[in-house]
């Protein structure tokens, strides 16, 4: 098949890891006889530097016209001035909104070969397999916000807003996914305190009761979830939650497989191209050193093939290759647990060798 893929390398380690993702996609194209064409576009800090805008219009147009988008990461200390006119992260939020990507799928799987990389005990993490659905275009990230001086005192606000349809659509996707897995769905909220969480809980319960009576459903408050996630991760199958709770819980969950550098994600909407990215950021502390773990991005490429291009065998080939590379003992420093390690490109090479 022919596919037109937009690459958004972004900042920090973004370009280093996206390059490895592209090499893997190329290897898949060769192996399975596809034709992938790439267009690299600006987003984030590099886009601010070159155009003044973290998401220039040509990037939006290219993404809208593409079959799928692969993103590295945005942001870094260079653009962190709190009084700056704009920020790299604005570009990422805006592309999610422009493409209507309301659901962010974040699978948390522990690789048997990597249980030693987790700071948690083997018997806790082994066999974990959770699929998070993080709502991605609503909530506190997108509600009314700003600053105001009241009686000479500066105030800042960000407002959490959810509408019924916004909750319905992401809960539906999550419940459908649960049907195809172990049939269990957990909704995470803060309904004991927050009004939008109370709406979330009502809507989620109704959608599951009316449309997915076969799905085993429960509700957990977000603060308790932060604890359950690392004390009994195997009890969870599919988890659905709001934008900010999902952001925080999945970074926490990265300690189950052992590193942020292992976790991919897929952002999808009702139609149109999906956007695929690692869940981690631009890792300024290791940028340019050639040691970033490219596996999250490579696994995001597998999600791209599966969800946007419907190439299941090709996606499975990448996932199997990653498992083989880990089984052979290849590690970047973040998952090496003190043992010998290799760099970003060498890890990409190992995946390519298995795919060849």
Q: Which residues bind ligand IPM (CB under 6 A)?
A: 75, 89, 92-93, 247, 279, 281
Q: Among ligand IPM, Mn ion, ligand NAD, none, what binds residue 76 when CB lies within 5 to 8 Å by partner kind?
A: ligand NAD
Catalytic annotation, pick one of 53, 182, 235, 247: 247
- Is 61 labeled as catalytic in the residue annotation? no
Catalytic annotation, pick one of 67, 162, 189, 190: 190
CB-based burial of residue 121 (10 Å sphere; 0-12 exposed, 13-18 middle, 19+ buried)?
exposed
DSSP run (H or E) holding 40: strand 35-40
Q: Is 315 annotated as a binding residue?
A: no
d(CA 222, CA 344): 35
- For residues 20-51, one letter each, b for 16 or more C-beta atoms within 10 angstroms of the residue's C-beta and e for the rest, the string is bbbbbbebbbeeeebebeebebbbbbbbbeee
Q: Per CB under 6 A, does 267 bind ligand NAD? A: no
Half-sphere exposure of 242 (CA within 13 A, CB side): 29
Q: By C-alpha distance, which of 252, 245, 211, 48 is closest to 140?
A: 245
Q: Which is nearer to ligand NAD, 175 or 302 (CB)?
A: 302
Tell me which residues touch Mn ion (CB under 5 A): 247
What 336-341 contacts at long range (C-beta under 8 Å, 24+ apart), as own/partner pairs, is 336/117, 337/116, 337/117, 337/258, 341/291
Fill in the DSSP letter of residue 112: G
Q: Among ligand NAD, Mn ion, ligand IPM, none, what binds residue 286 when CB lies within 5 to 8 Å by partner kind?
A: ligand NAD
Q: Which residue has the tokens 């009502």?
A: 202
In the complex, least distance from residue 308 CB atom to ligand IPM, rounded to whole angstroms? 18
- Is 141 labeled as catalytic in the residue annotation? yes
Q: Which is nearer to ligand IPM, 27 or 253 (CB)?
A: 253
In the complex, least distance from residue 164 CB atom to ligand NAD, rounded to whole angstroms? 28
In the complex, least distance from residue 10 CB atom to ligand IPM, rounded to whole angstroms? 10
Q: Among ligand IPM, Mn ion, ligand NAD, none, what binds residue 315 when CB lies within 5 to 8 Å by partner kind?
A: none
Q: Is 213 annotated as a binding residue?
A: no
Can you say whether the dihedral through the CA atoms of 341, 129, 131, 255 is positive or negative?
negative
Q: Which is nearer to Mn ion, 71 or 355 (CB)?
A: 71
d(CA 281, CA 278): 8
Q: Is 312 annotated as a binding residue?
A: no
Among 199, 292, 302, 315, binds ligand NAD (CB under 6 A): 292
- Any residues with CB less than 8 A from the CB of 331 and at least 6 apart, and which? 117, 337, 339, 340, 341, 342
d(CA 321, CA 327): 10
Q: Per CB under 6 A, does 286 bind ligand NAD? A: yes
**How many residues contact ligand NAD, by CB under 6 A?**
21
Interacting residues toward ligand NAD by CB under 6 A: 13, 73-76, 89, 92, 260-261, 277, 280-286, 292-293, 296, 334
Residue numbers belonging to the annotated binding site: 76-89, 96, 106, 134, 223, 247, 251, 281-293
Q: Which residues are catalytic?
A: 141, 190, 223, 247, 251
């Amino acid at each position: 098949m022919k596919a037109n893929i937009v690459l958004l390398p972004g900042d920090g380690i973004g370009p280093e890891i996206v390059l490895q993702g592209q090499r893997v996609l190329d290897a898949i194209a060769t192996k399975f006889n596809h034709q992938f064409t790439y267009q690299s576009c600006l987003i984030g800090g590099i886009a601010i530097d070159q155009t003044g805008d973290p998401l220039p219009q040509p990037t939006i147009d290219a993404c809208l016209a593409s079959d799928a988008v692969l993103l590295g990461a945005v942001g870094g200390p260079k653009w962190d001035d709190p009084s700056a006119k704009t920020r790299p992260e604005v570009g990422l939020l805006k592309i999610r909104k422009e493409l209507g990507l309301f659901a962010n799928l974040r699978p948390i799987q522990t690789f048997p070969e990597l249980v030693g990389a987790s700071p948690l005990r083997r018997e806790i993490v082994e066999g974990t397999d959770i699929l998070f659905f993080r709502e991605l275009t609503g909530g506190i990230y997108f509600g009314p916000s700003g600053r105001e001086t009241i009686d000479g005192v500066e105030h800042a606000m960000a407002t959490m807003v959810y509408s019924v349809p916004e909750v319905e659509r992401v809960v539906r996707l999550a419940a459908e996914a649960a049907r195809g897995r172990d049939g269990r769905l957990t909704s995470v909220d803060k309904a004991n305190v927050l009004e939008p969480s109370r709406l979330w809980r009502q809507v989620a319960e109704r959608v599951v009761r009316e449309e997915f009576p076969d799905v085993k459903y429960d509700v957990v408050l977000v603060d308790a979830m932060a604890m359950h996630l690392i004390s009994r991760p195997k009890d969870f199958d599919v988890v659905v939650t709001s934008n900010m709770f999902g952001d925080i819980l999945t970074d926490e969950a990265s300690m189950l497989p052992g590193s942020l550098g292992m976790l991919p994600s897929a952002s999808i909407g009702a139609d149109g191209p999906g956007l695929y990215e690692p869940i981690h950021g631009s890792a300024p502390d290791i940028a340019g050193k050639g040691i970033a773990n490219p596996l999250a991005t490579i696994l995001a490429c597998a999600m791209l093939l599966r969800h946007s291009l419907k190439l299941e065998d090709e996606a499975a080939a990448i996932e199997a290759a990653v498992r083989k590379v880990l089984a052979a003992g290849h590690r970047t420093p973040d998952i090496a647990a003190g043992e010998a390690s290799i760099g970003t490109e060498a890890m990409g090479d190992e995946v390519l060798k298995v795919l060849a």
